[in-house]
Structure 1
Amino acid sequence: MRLAVLADIHGNLPALEAVLADLGRRGADAIVHLGDCVSGPLWPRETLDVLVAKGWPTVRGNHDRWVWEDWDEPLTTSDGYARHALDAAGRAWLGALPMQLELPGGITAFHARPDDDNAYLLEDVEGGRLVRAPADAIAARLTGVSGPIVLCGHSHLPWLLRLPDGRWVLNPGSIGAPAYDDPTPPAHVSESGSPAARYAMLELDGDKVAAELIAIPYDHDRAVRRAAENGRPDWAHQLATGFSRPPGT
């Protein structure tokens, strides 16, 4: 089975369109999306229209939950912009997404951790940056998950790890947000280092597991312009470079 693993679109329609075109060339037996569908100053409504039409199995991310919840955030925030762009039906669609999915082949999929949609599974924060957590810490965070393959997103960083107990853990990276700055204590940044749209292809053949971490170019200048027009120079810089902040800041 060839399973395309998508995550963290964040309303970046041209990045999603590029991934779909790439998938059309590669082919996949199934597609799963790991949440954070629309939050951001880009194309939330148009992105949601694509996801609803495709009907892929999708888990709810922390930003999906925050967009769905009735918070009075201004348009200048990522969640506020997305919330105001969606109608009640679109917000309800996000709210109805499951936190976790069990897929064929012993695959467990969730956005961040199985018990927390806003906590990192594969990373720790050190010196204001995300670094890979020790294998024993990752295993402890997976208590209660017994399947041999785990899929997660949230950090926007692509990883493929095999834990000492034999379980595989895959984060495909982010389709639409190659970097971000999180001020929540402890404040930190996530940086993929390029503007590419990222996803993964997981191949299962009996007991054999193989995965390809894929980074593809797209018209990121279009997304940069959109972010700038919507008053988000921070997003514009991140989309253009894959880094959270200009050097020296």
Structure 2
Amino acid sequence: MKIALLSDIHANLPALEAVLADIEKQKPDTIYCLGDFIGYNVWPNQVIELIRKNRIASIAGNHDLKLAKLLTKQDNCSTKESSDYAYQLVGNKERNYLLTLPRHLRIEFQLENTSQNMLLVHGSPRSINEYLLEDLPEQYMIDMLQEFNANMLCFGHSHKSYHRILNSGKEANKRLHLINTGSVGKPKDGDPRAGYVIITINPLSNISEKDGIQVEFIRVEYDVEKAAQAVEVSLLPDSFADNLRKGY
């Protein structure tokens, strides 16, 4: 089975269009989005429409849920530069969609007569705002996966992709997989190209084995200048445009 994962689009329509075109070439069996549709760029409604048009199962990110707090905020950004302008662009139906998205998705596989659980989150299972950075202590990550009964944890939020394999500690040959998808619309690793992940699961293998799954991080060229210039002619801070160009 081939699964495509994308996350942290942040209203960057040119990046999302390029990623979806590339995913179509990969011919995955299914696609999941791990949240943060909005913020930083000027196309939140178009991004949401495209995700829904493609029937991509999705969860909420921290920027998406930020809309709930901004509903009561009386800060008029119509004539001044503000990062909140990105959220004011979100339409009513799009806001309702984001605020009703689930926080987690769990997928259970039956491989080699054992149950294997993939948990999809935005930040972490404990908090939508938690950063699961690659250098976190191994035991901390193992305890988290065991607490939430997951063999595979897939997440975004930090905008930096990685695949980390851990030994569970209970069984010598049982391994746990941590997969950070990186970011479609706002990479922070110095590479401005859009990013997503393809996970391939071999039916003859066990996810808990080291080579039980294949994880491929894919980067896609898109019109960065189009996105950056759209920021610069909007009421968003110009620093957002600089970050797109620099991949941060």
Q: What RMSD, in angstroms, separates the aligned Cα atoms of the two structures? A: 1.6
Tell me the residue number matched to 2:120: 109
Tell me the residue number matched to 1:42: 42
Query: Is 1:140 the equivalent of 2:137?
Result: no
Tell me the residue number matched to 2:199: 202
In structure 1, C-alpha distance between the alignment counterparts of 2:41 and 2:30, rounded to whole Å: 29
SS for the counterpart of 1:139 is helix
Give me the identity figure in percent. 30
SS for the counterpart of 2:28 is coil
Tell me the residue number matched to 2:132: 121
Of 222, 225, 243, which residue of structure 2 is paired with 1:218? Answer: 222
Report the residue type matching 1:201 in the other structure.
I
In structure 2, C-alpha distance between the alignment counterparts of 1:71 and 1:19, rounded to whole Å: 34
SS for the counterpart of 2:17 is helix
Tell me the residue number matched to 1:232: 237
Tell me the residue number matched to 1:172: 181
Runs of 5+ in structure 2 lacking a partner?
110-116, 169-174, 207-211
1:83-132 Cα shifts (integer Å, max 9, x gaps): 32222221111010111001243211010011211111235xxxxxxxx2
**Cα displacement (A) at 1:4:** 0.2
1:201-245 Cα shifts (integer Å, max 9, x gaps): 0001132211101111111110110111124211111100113xx
In structure 1, C-alpha distance between the alignment counterparts of 2:45 and 2:220, rounded to whole Å: 23
Runs of 5+ in structure 1 lacking a partner?
124-131, 179-190, 244-249
In structure 2, C-alpha distance between the alignment counterparts of 1:74 and 1:213, rounded to whole Å: 40
- Closer, same or farther in 2 for the Cα pair 1:104/1:142, shift >3 Å? closer
Report the residue type matching 1:140 in the other structure.
D
Segment of structure 1 superposing worse, 142-151 or 25-34: 142-151
Report the residue type matching 1:193 in the other structure.
G
In structure 1, C-alpha distance between the alignment counterparts of 2:8 and 2:191, rounded to whole Å: 16
1:135-175 Cα shifts (integer Å, max 9, x gaps): 12222343522121111010000010111211101111000
**Cα displacement (A) at 1:71:** 4.4
SS for the counterpart of 2:244 is helix
C-alpha contact (below 8 Å) 1:100/1:109 kept by paired residues: yes
TM-score normalised by structure 2 residue count:
0.84
C-alpha contact (below 8 Å) 2:41/2:227 kept by paired residues: no
Matches within 5 A, 1:57-136: 57-69=57-69, 70-72=71-73, 73=75, 75=77, 76-78=81-83, 80-105=84-109, 106-123=117-134, 132-136=135-139
SS for the counterpart of 1:45 is helix
User: Higher relative CO (CA 8 A, sep ≥ 6), structure 1 or 2?
Assistant: 2
In structure 2, C-alpha distance between the alignment counterparts of 1:67 and 1:203, rounded to whole Å: 35
In structure 2, C-alpha distance between the alignment counterparts of 1:122 and 1:168, rounded to whole Å: 14
Report the residue type matching 1:217 in the other structure.
E
In structure 2, C-alpha distance between the alignment counterparts of 1:17 and 1:46, rounded to whole Å: 10
SS for the counterpart of 1:119 is coil
Tell me the residue number matched to 1:22: 22
Aligned length: 222
Instruction: State which structure, 1 or 2, has the greater radius of gyration over its C-alpha atoms.
Output: 2
C-alpha contact (below 8 Å) 1:40/1:77 kept by paired residues: no
**Cα displacement (A) at 1:16:** 0.3
Tell me the residue number matched to 1:241: 246
C-alpha contact (below 8 Å) 2:145/2:151 kept by paired residues: no
C-alpha contact (below 8 Å) 1:10/1:44 kept by paired residues: yes
Tell me the residue number matched to 1:150: 153
